[in-house]
Amino acid sequence: MTTFTTDRRSGLLLLASVALIGAPHAWNLPPLLCAFFAVAVAWRLLGVWRVDWLPNRRLLTLLTLLGIALLVSQQRGLFGRDAGTGIFMVALGLKLFEIQSRRDVYLVVYLAFIVAASQFLYSQSLWMAAFIFVVCTLLTTTLVVSTSLTQNSRDAFRKAAVIIAQALPLALLMFVVFPRLDAPRWMWLQQDNRAKSGLSNVLQPGAISELSLSDERVFRARFSGDLPPQSKRYWRGPVYVVTDGTTWTASKTLAPAADIAFGEPVYRYTLMMEPQQENRVYALELAKDLDSDVQRTANFELISRSNPGERAEYALTSATTYNTGALADGERQASLQLAGPVSVRLHELVERLGGFNASPDRFIENLLRHFRDENFYYTLTPPLMPDAPIETFLLESRSGFCSHYATAFAYLMRIAGIPARVVGGYQGGEFNAVGGFLDIRQADAHAWAEVWLTGRGWVRVDPTAAVAPERIERGVNVALQITSGAVNFASSHPPSWPWLQQGRHLWQSLDYNWQRWVIGYDNKSRLQLLQALGIVDWQTLTSWLAVAVLAVTLTLTWLILRRPHRRQDPVLICYRRFCRTLAKRGITPATGEGPLDFADRVKRGHPDLAGAVDAITALFVRLRYQPDASPDDMQALQRAVRNLEV
């Protein structure tokens, strides 16, 4: 049977650290693999008290085969993030049963460090970083205990803290100067096979209403000057042009930048995009100056060249007033496409609202008034409309979410011969007063329409504003909307518990800066920092590193030389003099031999020294280990050692 070589408290510390480091993977790995790991830790925990309950060699072999079978059956392959993490988790669980020596404890701790590092492959949040730091401190404390530097938990923790503090400067230096390795394109999106929510290239009925019940963050935007008004915060995403009457499909055709005339005001800002499935950048409508990693499509959508599975930051400039210019023939034809013959009822509706005889502006105004005055309702839960959804929505149910209004509006425009399309994206965003940025989540997902007007180009028209102006002017209350499952607009009144909101904003601000300055520190940031320090090539960097190493070495040497020498125990000095005296006759204590055992061996081999050795040993033990020793005993010990003759 296997047993810990450390005491029970050290074993419990090791098992607690291992259990904590594996716990977050319950959200990342298959349930059976996590159950295997949990059973292994619990079984080994029972073995701390009952060694005979631990598996023998034959049972351990069966457990190993079971672990291999789970890895093969639960993973999609033997390579990749999930497969590698699963292998280390199973190995860590099995290694707990093989702890027979200090070396085995080291291996368990090192495996636990690897599992700890694997957590960052799934989450790089500030919460996770703090959690990993705490658990790694516990693992380092376990290492300190296992090396017998101290058996006191407080002393071991203090020693571990000193070790970590000493390692932090080197870790910081490596973080700053070590090059980042970019993942090749074939690994993009293989890092996380779990589906991410968000706007897709196909707009289906009810898709945006489902997103509106998610508080998943999409991006954060920090402006260098004033914020745009709430009603102007349209973050442009996919542009849906082709429709079959039910679904609308977007395209990402790259094209040379159109001759766009931008007006005032102009907003400069930085976007921090969260990982997503599509490499889409949601810019404030309409983007003017683009980041070097961003391309513009023919529909003014922004596409990133970066890995969409990673968090990315972009510097952009947008203008909320613009003129997109002339419309190409192919674009006009695509923006007038209909799903088939127009029904009689829809034709009559367009005719009644002036679509065939009034100006485009008048028809737009009439249609928006129709939405506002004819008992249309804005709801997250519209009735199902499987057949002819646009006609059913306009003439029967009159209840829908933003996508229902946008698609119906665009379709009626096309019937009237006005080029139109649907734009998906996000509207609004919560302002974080502590961090000074806008926080946009999936609950802010929105859809609106665009129509092309002569002399003005593509013009945004949001029919939702006619039915529910609060949605555009105030935005949504994400928490209440998710909790209730119904539309909830942000309140214009101060919150009832302002300190709670301030605390939430403070944490979100800390997380934003963590993501921006730590997680977002890439090769570009590294080169900019080194250039700011005057380091423009590897030769200069090597010289600076040599100077830094020399400075650290000299500082440590100076600190060591200045360290006050510990005053040696006079009792030990006297006893060592006694041992040196005996060494003249070839009598030396063996390694690990205590004073009493040494005295017994000396008396057996040299009876003539028995009296003096007994007296000296008794005095040494009393002075060293007993609280009732007196100064006279010290004088007697010194006298006895001085008078010893060999």
Q: How many domains does the chain have?
A: 3
- Cα dihedral 188/192/198/202 (nearest 10): 60
Question: Does residue 380 belong to any structural domain of this protein?
Answer: no
Domain closes at, from 445, 475, 498:
498
Q: Residue 118: give the domain boundaries.
A: 8-177
Phi, psi of 378 (to 5 degrees): -100, 115
Residue 229 has pLDDT above 80, yes or no: yes
Instruction: Kindly state whether residues 142 and 277 are assigned to the same domain.
Output: no
Question: Does residue 359 belong to any structural domain of this protein?
Answer: no
Instruction: Kindly state whether residues 170 and 214 are assigned to the same domain.
Output: no
Instruction: Kindly state whether residues 168 and 209 are assigned to the same domain.
Output: no
Residue 613 has pLDDT above 80, yes or no: yes
Least confident of 121-130, 188-197, 540-549: 188-197
Residue 175 has pLDDT above 90, yes or no: no
* pLDDT reported for residue 235: 94
Instruction: Kindly state whether residues 211 and 144 are assigned to the same domain.
Output: no
* pLDDT reported for residue 489: 57
Tens of pLDDT, residue by residue over 490-526, are 555 556 667 677 787 888 888 888 888 787 777 777 7
* pLDDT reported for residue 488: 58
Instruction: Kindly state whether residues 126 and 236 are assigned to the same domain.
Output: no
Instruction: Kindly state whether residues 59 and 119 are assigned to the same domain.
Output: yes
Domain closes at, from 498, 513, 540:
498
Instruction: Kindly state whether residues 62 and 153 are assigned to the same domain.
Output: yes
Instruction: Kindly state whether residues 78 and 148 are assigned to the same domain.
Output: yes
- The CA-CA-CA angle for residues 451, 454, 460, to 5°, reads 25
Six-digit token string for 295 = 């391309």
Question: What is the rounded average pLDDT of the residues 347-373?
Answer: 92
Question: Does residue 592 belong to any structural domain of this protein?
Answer: yes
Tens of pLDDT, residue by residue over 123-156, are 888 889 999 999 999 999 888 887 764 556 777 8
Residue 487 has pLDDT above 70, yes or no: no
* Residue 251 pLDDT grade (very low, low, confident, very high; cuts 50, 70, 90): confident
Instruction: Kindly state whether residues 164 and 66 are assigned to the same domain.
Output: yes
Phi, psi of 504 (to 5 degrees): -65, -40
The residue ranking higher by pLDDT, 111 or 183, is 111
| Amino acid, res. 44 | R
Instruction: Kindly state whether residues 160 and 218 are assigned to the same domain.
Output: no
Instruction: Kindly state whether residues 162 and 216 are assigned to the same domain.
Output: no
Residue 285 has pLDDT above 80, yes or no: yes
Question: Does residue 3 belong to any structural domain of this protein?
Answer: no
* Residue 72 pLDDT grade (very low, low, confident, very high; cuts 50, 70, 90): confident
Question: Does residue 256 belong to any structural domain of this protein?
Answer: yes
Phi, psi of 267 (to 5 degrees): -115, 130
* pLDDT reported for residue 486: 56
- 470: phi > 0 → left, psi -120 to 50 → alpha, else beta; which? alpha
Instruction: Kindly state whether residues 157 and 252 are assigned to the same domain.
Output: no
- Cα dihedral 139/144/145/149 (nearest 10): 180
Question: Does residue 411 belong to any structural domain of this protein?
Answer: no
Question: Does residue 565 belong to any structural domain of this protein?
Answer: no
Residue 584 has pLDDT above 50, yes or no: yes
Domain closes at, from 111, 142, 177:
177
Distance CA 484, CA 487 (A): 8
